[in-house]
Each structure stands twice: as C-alpha cells, then as structure tokens.
Chain A
Amino acid sequence: MRFSILSRFLLFAGICANGLEADSSDFATLLEERLSTVVAVEFAIEHELDRTVNYTHALVIDNNGTAIIEASAISDRATPDQLVEFKVYRPGQPTTQFSSAEYLGQDGYTTWHFIRIEPAGRIGLRPITDFLAEDASALPRIAEPIWGIGLRQKDEDFAPYFLRSHLSMIQRLPQLTGIALNEVASRACPVFNDRGEFIGVGASGFGQRMMIYSQRRRGEMSVLINPDEAAGFRLAGEVLSALGRVPDNPFGRPLPWFGIDGIDPVDPDVAQFLGLGSGAGLVISEILKGSPAEDAGLLPRDIIIALDGMPLPRLKPDEVVSAHLMREVLKREPGVTLSLTILRDRTELEIPIELGNAPKTPKESSRRYFEDLGVTVRETVFSDVVARREDPSDLNGVIVHFVKPSSPVGTAGVRMDDWIKEIDGTAVGDYDQALSLLEAAEASGRPELVMLVSRGGETAVMRAKLSPGS
C-alpha cells in the first residue's frame, strides 16, 4: 500500500514534468528545422602588410539571402574596402562547401552589419521570420524555459548543438535584452521558446562577475565572458527592427546628427538635488562647432530631461540613458526636427533641433598606403579635429592611419593617429595636396622627408631618411 502511494506520487511528478517541457525528440526536430536560419561566416580584413581571417555567425532575415551580423564581430577600424572574401558555411556541412556573400554595410540605428548571400547559397535557407510567434511583440515570460542553437568551430564543420536554459530577467540596455540562467546560444544564433517560436538572438558581452581563488591569489574579482556562447540575448523585436533597415550603402547613410559631444547621465542623488524627482537627466559637455545643436542654441552644461515632450526613461545602469538618447536620434532621419526639454540654470526650456547629416566619419575618409615610405595617410575628418581639440571648420593636414615598423616613416618616430600638418616645409591644406607632396617626396630621390607632426596638442619636426632609389 505504501509502495503504491509513492509510485502514484512519482507518476504524478512525471506528468507534471511532461506538461512543462517538450519531448526531447520534438527538440531534435525543432532544432533541425531552425538550423536553416543560421550560417557561419568567414571574412578577411585586408591590412597594409597582411590580412586577418575572422569568423562569426549570421542570422538570415529574408528570402533574398540577407543576413545580419552583430556589431562587435567586425572591427570598428576596418573600412568596408578592407572587408573581403565573405564565405558562408552551413552548420555541420563539410567546410569545402561554401557560398560567397557580399558586405552590404552597417546600420547606424540597429548597429547590425548586413551581408547578402549569393543566390546559389540561399537554397535551403529560411528567414527567421518564418518562426515568429503569432504575437511577435509579446515579451517572453520570466522563468520560461528557452533553448538556442550553438555552433562549433570551423575544424568541427561548424557543427550545431543544442543549448537549454530559463529566462532570468529582461533589461533595457537600451536594446531589450533577455538574460538566461546560463549560456543559451552562440553569438548571433537564435533563441526559441519550447513551442519553437523565435524570441531572440545571442548577444556578446554579457559578463559575469566571478571571484578567482588560487594558491597564489586570494579572491580576486574578475569578469568572465564566454566568447563562444551567450547567456544574454537581444529580444526578437530588436531583430525585427532590422528588417526594414537594410543599408543601400556600406556606411549606413543617411546618418542623422545633432552635434552634442559627451552626454553624461546624472546619478539619482543629483537628479533629486535638481528636483527631477525620479526622472533621468543628461548633462551636455560640449556643443560642436557648426552643428545643429549650436544652431539651435544649446549650451554646454544644459541638462536634457525630455525628448519630444517625453521625460527620459529611468534606465539602469545610468549610462544606458545616454545610449537611449543617441539611439533615439539615430532612429530618425536628417531633416527631422526633434524637441529637447532642457534645464538651464534650474529653468526649463524647450529647444527644437533640426537634425543634420553627420559629417564624414574616419571610416569614410579616403586613404592611401605609400609602400616605400611605410605609411598610410587618410583624409582629416570632423571628428579627428574635434578629438584633437582644434577648430573643426579647418580640416587641414592628414591623419596617419598606419605606420610600417622599421620603415623610413616608422624610424622617424611617426605613430598611428599622428596629425601631419606640413610635408617638406609646405603646409598641408587637404588630402589631395598631401598625396601629391608624398608622391613627390617618393619620386624625388632626395635623401629625406621632413614632416611637422602634431600629437597631443604639441608639434614636432620628424625626419624620415629615404633609402637611395626609393
């Protein structure tokens, strides 16, 4: 009798477990089907002297072979021209089989990079939108069981594997981000609920604080980040917002801009002191010269408290509020007017700003490598001059993008990010002039190239000894 009570209890427990979770054979099917939404991507970055090969994953978003890659997978310093040989591999297939893809660009607002897979490589791929829940905007529930796809490395044919967890919390960072109890997907690989509905995509950079104890060191706090798998994932809505934003140019233009530099969130004590109650505020550090913010009459030390009449949301940690405002700007188009409510000398003011077109970025600047000199120079752009604390209405000189070690220019002491103001005694007005001066120096047969170089606000004359015959 006692035995039968116990067995009945166990049976009951078994039923409960079955009711909560899908059958393991179902998961195998779900995984198999949904593998068609993800690919492994290999690409090279071409540098002056060598090229580096990089690997990442991409999520397919439509039937035209468009796939998205997370922002941090591609170095910020690499220009679109340097990104070459995109290859797409299917999970678990021999790596001798691959398709090529084209780099489309990066979207400023969502920060996704976009690629397009060649038609032959699209066969058998399915967009992630095929697996949306009926109500795609509904947030997953806390404690809900979730699962995701992991991909191994190239030497294991990018073999897919199954990851399983529960949703622990949802944060606005400012992207809506789910955090699972443990790693739930590889970076840029999809996460699903038990019904197989798409709920998010594995994000990088969710660090966990851990104490390390060893025989030599006692309890040292470290942040551990798993580079292969993510416990944090962007919720489905963040992927869906990318659908309509496939860039038609590699730089994701048009890029809206208001020209405010350094927006620092006020902490809760300061907010309370300023009478903001529980609201958020952002202190403006600088208004850039010639920017829409300057035209609108904004001043350094103004405190932004609302955007288009909506108080800034209280997001945590405080820095997320700054990121939120930048995203709100990037979501809009140049030419759109937005209204900022600011606090100036404790008085509220409403200031409309018409967003402008962002000035050329360093990535967009023209550049050329001079092999005999051992230097790559690039066009000086607005942000270069702002960063060097000078007047950005004067974009003179060229910026050093690369210096070859032990080359004539390298031996002279020139370093990356130096600002070349004069070449052989001639002031460099612009990029084209710099090119002709450097070409002339290379061809002259003279024993030296003399440059006036600015670094950290100080200048120095640097002399490159040219080898005979160069």
Chain B
Amino acid sequence: MTWLAATLIGLFLLQSRTVAEPTEGFRQLLDAVVRIDVREYAYEAGSKRFQSGVGSGVIVSDDGLILTNAHVVGLRAVEINVTLSNLERVGAELVGWDHWTDLALLRLDAEEVARKGFEFTVAEFGDTKDLYPGETVYAVGTPHGLTRTVTRGIISNPRRFFADSRGVKGYETGQFNTWLQTDAAINPGNSGGPLVTSAGRIVGINSRGYTGADNLGFAIPSDTAQRVMHGLAADGRITRSYIGIVPGALRDLEDFYDLELNTGMLINSVDPGSPAAQAGLRGGDILLAIDGEPVDGRFPEQLPPIKHRIAIQPVGSELSLTVKRNGETKDYVVETEELVSRVGEESVVEVWGLSIREVSRTYARENQFPDEEGVLVIGVQRGFPARVAGLSTGDVITKINDQPVSTIEDVMAAAEAYAANPEKVLVEARRQFRVSLYVLKP
C-alpha cells in the first residue's frame, strides 16, 4: 500500500513538472486577451451589405490599445465590439491597419470604459530574438467563437518565409517580415490573439494556419508587431518605400554567378516602369549591397529582412544598389517611390448595382495594363443596370459618356447625374485587353 502510494506521488510529481506553472505573468496575460466582434461592409455583390466576423486581440497599453490582425478588423469595419476577460463588452475604434504585416490597432472607447468603471489588464511583450525551435508557447484566443481558449505547442520554426500576394482579404502580406511557426492549435477565430511564453510574454500575434494540415500555425513576431504598433499609433498607417524588384533565393546558384558564399541576392524580376526598371536593373541581376552594406539572400527566410531594409527608407530617397551582371559589378542609383497595394480604394454605386475599385499602380503593373486609368469592376448585382448591360467582374471601366474615368469620384459623379436624371449612359470598358461598349438603361 505504501509502495503504491509512493508510486502515485512519483507519477504526480513527474507530471507536474511538465505542466506550465501558471505564473503571475501568465495570469495577467489571460486577463489582457479579448474577443473582437466586427461588423463590416461587403461591397462585392454590387451592393452594400453587412457581414460579421469574430477574432481575438490583446490589450497592449494603459490607454486601451489592442493589437489584432488586419484580416480581423479592416478598413470596411463599421462596428467593433470588444469583450474583456471579465466578460464586459466595450466599443472600440480602428486606429490603423497594415495588411503587409497583417496587423491592425484598435482603441477601446475610453469614455465608455470610464463611465462603466471597467478595468483591464495590459499584456507585456517578450523578445522574439531569444526564441528557439522546441520552446513551449501558448496561443490564447477565441477559436470558432470559444472565448478565452488556451492551446499549447512549441515554436516549430522561429523564422519562416510565408508571403502571399492576396493573403489578407485580397491584399498582399508577409513580404517584409518572417513568421513564427508553431504547432499550438490555431483555428479560425484565434486570429489576432497572442502567442506567449510560459511567463505570459507576447512573442507573436497569431494570424494564419494551413487549412487541411495538422498544427501548422503562423504568428507575426512581436518585434515586428511592436514596430508596426508604434507606427500605426502615430500615423494610422505605415508608409513604405518601393523600388520594384522581385527577389529570389540564391540557394545553389552561387557557383553559376561566381559569388562568395553567403553573398548577394538574386533579382528574379523587375516590375516594368518601376524605379528599379528605370535605373536599368533587370531580372537575373545579383544585388550585392545596398548603400554599401552587403546583402545575403541565399535562403527564402533571408529575403523579408532585405525587403524591409528597402521599405524603411523614406519615400523619395536615393539608394545605391551594387549589382553584378555577367561578371561585372556596377552601382545603380534608384529613387524609391511609395509602396502601394494592388487593392485600390473601393466603393459601390447602388443605383447601377456596381461595385468598383480604383486601379492602383501595382494592379496595373501586375496585369500589364498600359496605365492606371479606369476603375475595376469587383461586383455586379443581378437585375441592375450594370449587369443587364453586360458588365462583369474584372472589367475596367475607362469612360462614361465619353469622359475618361480613373477615380471613384469620377464614377460617383456620373452616377449622381444619372440618379438625378435617369437617361441612357454609354460605358466603355476593357475586359483583359478587349474594348467593349455598354449602355446602362434606367
């Protein structure tokens, strides 16, 4: 009997060693994690409709700033409701968002918090640099609406390259930062919640998982999150520089290009008309240094930091790129321009049942358009004039009643004139590169 008791105690002791001690920091962290309910506009169907979503977030400042994902709360958000850990609900507003890092910053309604006498806890950041593969981490959030769920795993890889040209609601993401990969269960609704150490320090903001795979989750590292948070708090947005090079990992090509080990980054492609193209760079060039500082882009996970180095330069600044081509090395001076998304400003013309988006410089280049003229059709509503006339998603409207259009305002002005005096309207649009005419009828 004594023997049995001793064994039981032994087992218990053994087990207790593997369970995280709920530290003070961890308890504090749990109180800083919130559930976020969002109501936002959906424009795609040629009409303005509401849709709702649920995500997670973490309170990171005494004045009620909350970090979450850009794909949880975006520019279309109309109503944001935050559920605190004590289950009280408070309104919040969007401070800023940055799809490139999939981060958004919210602020709790201070007046409401004060009036109702709510209290909340602020989480603290840990250091991403110290993370090692195999380290135990916890994901906290609202998977599938299950508020305050904690899952446990390890850091599977602290520096994963994971870019996606349409990852955040059609916007680009992941080009300027690497990601933390974890096997802690990340499900829909975990988005925006923190990934923390056993001491309760935030090391990442959970963002994505591979669907159809087991335990392949990804989080934005907290060093990136903090930087973006400060930028969003100050300006509401992050401005980045762009030169138009598409990098590729050099990997086994060092011999071919006759490079020293761990030197250089391959330029796979140069966007037509971009600053790099104007400076004379081309696909197949090897970038050796930026402003004299060497570049090492042998592996994919080394590429985001290099792109980040370019992105943080002030817009309009001159960069000296040392480039190797056919055995010769030469410096090229490139003047940066502002980075813009492929997704332009959006709106809906309800009277025509037409959802539109401005053609951004990036979208125009991506689709080999001759210029940025026109507005893109992103949705048409059944039975409404645009759809009846034959317009469809993907068309680029270039003229309305013989007047060139390139902004949302141009289209709105024409739509207002139509609403005031409904008469037939002639629309010229391009589908791919084919020009067609349409008549919108009252």
Inter-subunit contact A459/B424 (CB<8 Å)? no
Within 8 A of B (CB), among A396-453: 421-422, 425, 448, 450, 452
Inter-subunit contact B256/A283 (CB<8 Å)? no
Inter-subunit contact B441/A461 (CB<8 Å)? no
Inter-subunit contact A283/B435 (CB<8 Å)? yes
Inter-subunit contact B436/A283 (CB<8 Å)? yes
Interface size class of A (residues with CB under 8 A): 20 to 34
Per-position 1/0 for B410-442, Cβ under 8 A of A: 000000000000001010101001111111010
CB distance from B72 to the nearest CB of A (A): 31
Assuming the contacts A269-B389, A283-B437, A301-B435, asked whether A460 and B283 have C-beta atoms less than 8 A apart, the reply is yes
Inter-subunit contact B246/A461 (CB<8 Å)? no
The complex places the Cα of A94 from the Cα of B435 at a distance, in Å, of 55
Per-position 1/0 for A373-411, Cβ under 8 A of B: 000000000000000010000000000000000000000
The complex places the Cα of A300 from the Cα of B368 at a distance, in Å, of 17
Query: Among B270, B434, B437, which residue has its beta carbon within 8 angstroms of that of A266?
Result: B437
Residues of A within 8 A of B433 (CB): 261-262, 285-286, 389
Inter-subunit contact B389/A264 (CB<8 Å)? no
Per-position 1/0 for B236-268, Cβ under 8 A of A: 000000000010100011001000000000101
The complex places the Cα of A448 from the Cα of B252 at a distance, in Å, of 10
Residues of B within 8 A of A285 (CB): 430, 433-435
Residues of B within 8 A of A284 (CB): 435
Q: Does B133 contact A (CB under 8 A)?
A: no
A303's nearest neighbour on chain B, judged by CB, is B437
CB distance from A345 to the nearest CB of B (A): 8
Q: Does A328 contact B (CB under 8 A)?
A: no
Within 8 A of B (CB), among A285-320: 285-286, 300-301
The complex places the Cα of A221 from the Cα of B268 at a distance, in Å, of 46
CB distance from B282 to the nearest CB of A (A): 8
Assuming the contacts A389-B368, A452-B283, A463-B252, asked whether A264 and B434 have C-beta atoms less than 8 A apart, the reply is yes
The complex places the Cα of A239 from the Cα of B246 at a distance, in Å, of 55
A346's nearest neighbour on chain B, judged by CB, is B402
Q: Does A267 contact B (CB under 8 A)?
A: yes
Inter-subunit contact A422/B368 (CB<8 Å)? no
Q: Does A142 contact B (CB under 8 A)?
A: no
Q: Does A457 contact B (CB under 8 A)?
A: yes
Assuming the contacts A285-B433, A459-B283, A461-B284, asked whether A273 and B439 have C-beta atoms less than 8 A apart, the reply is yes
Query: Among A261, A267, A448, A461, which residue has its beta carbon within 8 angstroms of that of B266?
Result: A461
Q: Does A135 contact B (CB under 8 A)?
A: no
CB distance from A53 to the nearest CB of B (A): 36
Q: Does B15 contact A (CB under 8 A)?
A: no
CB distance from A420 to the nearest CB of B (A): 12
Assuming the contacts A458-B246, A461-B248, asked whether A264 and B439 have C-beta atoms less than 8 A apart, the reply is no
B437's nearest neighbour on chain A, judged by CB, is A270
Inter-subunit contact B368/A450 (CB<8 Å)? no
The complex places the Cα of A273 from the Cα of B389 at a distance, in Å, of 13
Query: Among A266, A283, A286, A452, which residue has its beta carbon within 8 angstroms of that of B284?
Result: A452
Q: Does B390 contact A (CB under 8 A)?
A: yes
Q: Does B326 contact A (CB under 8 A)?
A: yes
The complex places the Cα of A277 from the Cα of B424 at a distance, in Å, of 16
What is the total number of residues of chain B having a CB less than 8 Å from a CB of chain A? Answer: 30
The main secondary structure of chain A at its interface with chain B is: strand
Per-position 1/0 for A252-293, Cβ under 8 A of B: 000000000110101101101110000000011110000000
Q: Does B272 contact A (CB under 8 A)?
A: yes
Residues of B within 8 A of A261 (CB): 433
Residues of B within 8 A of A458 (CB): 246, 268-269, 283
Inter-subunit contact B253/A450 (CB<8 Å)? yes
Inter-subunit contact A460/B268 (CB<8 Å)? yes
The complex places the Cα of A274 from the Cα of B439 at a distance, in Å, of 10
Assuming the contacts A269-B441, A459-B283, asked whether A262 and B426 have C-beta atoms less than 8 A apart, the reply is no
Residues of A within 8 A of B326 (CB): 425
CB distance from B244 to the nearest CB of A (A): 11
CB distance from B27 to the nearest CB of A (A): 50
Inter-subunit contact B435/A463 (CB<8 Å)? no
The complex places the Cα of A272 from the Cα of B367 at a distance, in Å, of 33
Residues of A within 8 A of B366 (CB): 457
Residues of A within 8 A of B283 (CB): 421, 452, 454, 458-461
Residues of B within 8 A of A425 (CB): 256, 284, 326
Query: Among B272, B424, B430, B439, which residue has its beta carbon within 8 angstroms of that of A457?
Result: B272
A266's nearest neighbour on chain B, judged by CB, is B437
A283's nearest neighbour on chain B, judged by CB, is B435
Query: Among A267, A269, A300, A463, which residue has its beta carbon within 8 angstroms of that of B256?
Result: A463
Within 8 A of A (CB), among B290-344: 326
The complex places the Cα of A118 from the Cα of B50 at a distance, in Å, of 72
Residues of A within 8 A of B269 (CB): 458-460
Assuming the contacts A286-B433, A463-B256, asked whether A270 and B439 have C-beta atoms less than 8 A apart, the reply is yes
Inter-subunit contact B428/A422 (CB<8 Å)? no
CB distance from A326 to the nearest CB of B (A): 15
Per-position 1/0 for B376-390, Cβ under 8 A of A: 000000000000011
Residues of A within 8 A of B430 (CB): 285
Inter-subunit contact A422/B439 (CB<8 Å)? no
B284's nearest neighbour on chain A, judged by CB, is A452
The complex places the Cα of A301 from the Cα of B438 at a distance, in Å, of 13
Residues of A within 8 A of B368 (CB): 389, 457
Residues of B within 8 A of A264 (CB): 434-437
Inter-subunit contact A273/B284 (CB<8 Å)? no
Residues of A within 8 A of B266 (CB): 461
Assuming the contacts A425-B326, A457-B368, asked whether A267 and B390 have C-beta atoms less than 8 A apart, the reply is yes
A447's nearest neighbour on chain B, judged by CB, is B255
Assuming the contacts A267-B390, A425-B326, A452-B284, asked whether A461 and B253 have C-beta atoms less than 8 A apart, the reply is yes
Inter-subunit contact A460/B435 (CB<8 Å)? no
CB distance from A2 to the nearest CB of B (A): 62
Within 8 A of A (CB), among B356-373: 366, 368
9 interchain pairs, CB-CB under 8 A: A262-B435, A270-B439, A273-B424, A283-B437, A389-B433, A421-B283, A458-B246, A458-B268, A461-B248
Residues of A within 8 A of B (CB): 261-262, 264, 266-267, 269-270, 272-274, 283-286, 300-301, 389, 421-422, 425, 448, 450, 452, 454, 457-461, 463
Q: Other CB < 8 Å A-B pairs besides A425-B284, A457-B368, 13 of them? A: A264-B437, A269-B424, A270-B438, A270-B439, A389-B368, A425-B326, A458-B269, A459-B270, A459-B284, A460-B248, A461-B248, A461-B268, A461-B284
The 9 closest A-B pairs by CB, nearest first: A459-B283, A269-B439, A262-B434, A458-B269, A389-B368, A285-B435, A459-B269, A452-B284, A270-B437
